[in-house]
């Protein structure tokens, strides 16, 4: 399910909390969805009952990755991500970091890939302050959007 506004998100979180469901949150660009993403999301879901995924807007990806990204526009990325079995809710966000979303959701577990450390996450302080946990998942070796893009560029030289 795609969550499109803050009011809907707040209502959703209230309902999940009422039902004592453990909320897992992760976020990313999910530009070209591949095996690494799907395995990562499946592993993240195992930490709780509900997996909420924050997805960077096109403008926030440009700020993070440069003007040549994203390759796939937001609406398409949302639709594909929403179709992944382990994903329960998808929420787009405009900022470069998911701090604002996390402050509303206050997930029980925040999951990031092994290319991060707890110390390198801008959201760590907030999560630890309200009593949430941070889990770092090992990435699938050789699968990253950057690798996929570079492979495509190499094939077309």
Residues 6+ apart with CB under 8 A from 49: 21, 22, 23, 24
Among residues 90, 34, 93, 87, which one has the least CA distance to residue 61?
93
Instruction: Decide: residue 99, CB within 10 A, 0-12 exposed, 13-18 middle, 19+ buried.
Output: middle
Q: Are strands 109-113 and 23-28 parallel, antiparallel or unpaired?
A: parallel
Query: Helix, strand or coil for residue 147?
Result: helix
pLDDT value of position 65: 86
Domain 6-155: what homologous superfamily? HUPs (3.40.50.620)
pLDDT by position in tens, the chain (length 157): 999 899 999 999 999 999 999 999 999 999 888 888 999 999 999 999 999 999 999 999 999 888 888 999 999 999 999 999 999 999 999 998 999 999 999 999 999 988 888 998 999 999 999 999 999 998 766 666 666 676 776 777 7
Confidence (pTM): 0.92
pLDDT value of position 144: 66
Q: Which residue has the tokens 């709780």?
A: 48
pLDDT value of position 59: 95
**Residue-range domain boundaries for the chain:** 6-155
């Amino acid at each position: 399910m795609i969550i499109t506004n803050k009011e809907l998100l707040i209502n959703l979180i209230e309902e999940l909390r009422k039902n004592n469901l453990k909320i897992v949150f992760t976020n990313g660009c999910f530009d070209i969805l591949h095996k690494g993403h799907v395995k990562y999301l499946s592993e993240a879901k195992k930490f709780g009952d509900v997996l909420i995924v924050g997805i960077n807007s096109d403008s926030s990806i440009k700020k993070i990755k440069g003007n040549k990204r994203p390759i796939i526009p937001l609406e398409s990325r949302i639709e594909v991500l929403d179709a992944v079995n382990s994903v329960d809710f998808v929420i787009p966000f405009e900022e470069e970091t998911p701090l604002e979303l996390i402050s509303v959701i206050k997930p029980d577990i925040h999951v990031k890939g092994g290319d991060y450390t707890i110390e390198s996450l801008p959201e760590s302080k907030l999560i630890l302050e309200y009593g949430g946990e941070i889990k770092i998942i090992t990435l699938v070796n050789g699968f990253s959007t950057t690798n996929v893009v570079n492979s495509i560029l190499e094939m077309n030289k």
